[in-house]
Copies of this chain bind each other. A is one copy, B any other.
Amino acid sequence: MQTFVLVHGGWRDGTAWDPVIEHLGNLGHLAYGPTMAGHGNDVNKVVSHNDCVSSIVQFIVEHDLTHVALLGHSFGGSVIARVAEEIPERLRRLIFWNAFVPQNGNCVLDEMPPSYRDLFSTLAAQSDDNTVALPFEVWRETFMQDADLETAHSIYSTLSPEPLQPFVDKLDLTRFFELEIPKSFINCMEDTALPPGEWGWHPRMSQRLGMYRLVQMHGSHEAAFMRAEELARKIVEAGRD
């Protein structure tokens, strides 16, 4: 039995993992999907990247979890890299699922293509609270292109505005890149949340991990909804010794 802590991406909270957690349970594993500070509805959106990191650290410590396979999706990759610096002794493996592995000193926005940088900065400036509401057209075409329109609208309604600050906080990842915790990268082959090529997820992000275990599957950035059972099996494959 593996113990997983699943860290969601931007515009999301921990409930995004419900279908995957159920399937991981059916496969005999224990999984948690905590929500980071500033994420979800009706919460204070004035948060830093460190606040996001602290949410996960506190969750793991308060539940006294050890031998954890810690998975980060998308923005969550930048968070688990920092969590690993804080509580490495509790972690058995790090799993990046189409996730940011920022270069030391970069912020998450630095790792995005210029079109996203401009879009997100503009949208945050237009908001009341420095948050980014992802336009439906962008999300539907590049995050969940494998759903029919009705499903896409239904899942889109579960998103909440993303605070910009955690995207622009520069990250000191010196200790992360020296850690010897085993690492895996799950690549959904049709994930275009980062555009394939120069700015893509794989191998751009994955190769920064040094030696890593690659697990691939078909699916989009929203495979946690569209292919929850297959994703659960791939998480088990990525996490096992």
Binding site for B on A (CB under 8 A): 115, 137-138, 141-142, 145-146, 148-149, 182, 189-190, 192, 195-198, 200, 202-204, 206-207, 210-216, 218, 237, 240-241
Contacts and interface: CB of A to CB of B under 8 A. Distances in A.
Contact of A202 (B137, B196, B206): B196
B211 A141 contact: yes
Which 4 A-B pairs give the minimum distances between C-beta atoms?
A197-B203, A196-B203, A145-B213, A141-B213
Contacts of A192: 212-214
- The number of times this chain is found in the oligomer is 3
A188 to B, nearest CB: 11
A146 to B, nearest CB: 7
Given A141-B182, A148-B240, A237-B146, A206 B196 contact: yes
A218 to B, nearest CB: 7
A212 B192 CA distance: 9
A207 B211 contact: no
A193 to B, nearest CB: 11
A192 to B, nearest CB: 5
B200 A200 contact: no
Nearest to A192: B214
Given A149-B240, A196-B203, A196-B207, A218 B216 contact: yes
Nearest to A207: B197
